[in-house]
Amino acid sequence: MGYDVERFVGYVNEGLLCSVCRCVCEEAVMSPCEHVFCRACISAWLSQHSTCPEDRTHLTHTQLRPLYRYMRNDLMQLQIRCVFHVHGCDVISALESMHTHEAECDYSLLTCRNTGGKYLCYRCGCEVQVCRRDLEAHLSVCEFGSRVCLGPDKDTHTCITELRTELTLFRAECVCKVEELRCEMESRLDSQRRHMVQRENILKNEVEELKAQLSCVMTDVCVLLAAERSRRQDLEKAELEKAELLELLKEGHRQFTTTAGDGPRKAGPRSLTLDCIKRKSKEVTVI
């Protein structure tokens, strides 16, 4: 689990957020596809999956690597509040030095060291938690500071047996807490998984829409190309007809000049043909 974003002062780059828990990365690592995770979060994820939780590409533990230097520097320079700010600590420092402060913070919670003396059972010890700065004052008035074992039978009672019983109960309590944490992690992972599936479906729908639009565009382009080819064929055909008509016109003009010296004649079939050729030539030119 990473650091709660609410603890940070100022802007936090989204590129430094864990893709699993959506908190600022703790012990950050990066995948080959350049997605960033908390080491604990991605380890828990990869124990059940073999893909990146962000884009579903293949991913294993051995492919994880440290952050780029500039990203690590940005992460370490983020300004964060002390984890004990809820108890009154107002220290704000860079992330890289916060662990040192929290280990010595005067507002950190400590459990009273008094167990009732050398022979007092664990269950009879003091369980009060106080701030570090108030511990000495508590120890001076703690009622368990000088007590002796008060078992039900001083002759047969042994603290070791009581301690073993308490240890068994403590282990059972730890197992329950671990199970609760595991269930919570699985719940969060399931939530992230559903979120990723929804994003994947949305992206698939968008891709299908783009494919449909591209298909329509390609169809329109094909229609335009066919129309252009048809237009060019019509133009080429018209040019050929024009050339043929011009040749006929030249031939008719030569024949006309050879017969011009014989005097005026009535318009014969050849003259009519020549007039038709000229009219058709004009029509082709207009086209």
pLDDT in tens, 245-269: 888 888 888 887 877 655 554 444 4
74 with 116, same domain: the answer is: no
Q: What is the mean pLDDT of the chain?
A: 81
- Greater pLDDT, 1 or 243: 243
Tell me if 82 sits within 8 A of 107, measured CB to CB.
yes
> Per the domain annotation, does 33 fall within a domain?
yes
Residue 121 has pLDDT above 50, yes or no: no
Confidence of residue 277 (pLDDT cuts 50, 70, 90): low
Which pair of tokens denotes residue 155? 């002759």
Number of structural domains found in the chain: 2
> Per the domain annotation, does 277 fall within a domain?
no
Per-residue DSSP letters for 54-81? TT--B--GGG-BPPPHHHHHHHHT-EEE
28 with 56, same domain: the answer is: yes
Give the DSSP letter of residue 11. -
The CATH number of whichever domain residue 84 belongs to comes to 3.30.40.10
18 with 68, same domain: the answer is: yes
Which pair of tokens denotes residue 277? 């050729």
> Per the domain annotation, does 260 fall within a domain?
no
10 with 85, same domain: the answer is: yes
Quote the pLDDT of residue 257: 81
> Per the domain annotation, does 42 fall within a domain?
yes
- Greater pLDDT, 12 or 110: 12
> Per the domain annotation, does 195 fall within a domain?
no
Instruction: Calculate what percentage of the chain has a pLDDT beyond 90.
Output: 26
Pick the closest to residue 32 from 46, 15, 17, 51 (CA basis): 51
Residue 206 has pLDDT above 60, yes or no: yes
> Per the domain annotation, does 60 fall within a domain?
yes
87 with 120, same domain: the answer is: no
Per-residue DSSP letters for 26-60? SSEEE-TT--EEEHHHHHHHHTT-SB-TTT--B--
- Greater pLDDT, 111 or 43: 43
Instruction: Kindly report, residue by residue over 47-86, the tens digit of the pLDDT.
Output: 998 999 888 899 988 999 999 889 888 889 999 999 888 8
Helices 95-104/69-76 angle, 10° precision: 40
Sign of CA dihedral 8, 33, 52, 61: negative
Quote the pLDDT of residue 251: 84
> Per the domain annotation, does 131 fall within a domain?
yes
9 with 49, same domain: the answer is: yes
Structural domain boundaries enclosing 52 = 5-93
Side chain identity at 230, as an amino acid letter? S
Beta-carbon count within 10 A of 159 CB: 19
**226-257: b (≥16 Cβ within 10 Å) or e:** eeeeeeeeeeeeeeeebeebeebeeebeeeee
C-alpha distances out from residue 286 to 148, 242, 245, Å: 124, 11, 14
> Per the domain annotation, does 275 fall within a domain?
no
Residue 7 has pLDDT above 80, yes or no: yes
- Greater pLDDT, 55 or 162: 55
pTM (2 decimals)?
Answer: 0.44
71 with 127, same domain: the answer is: no
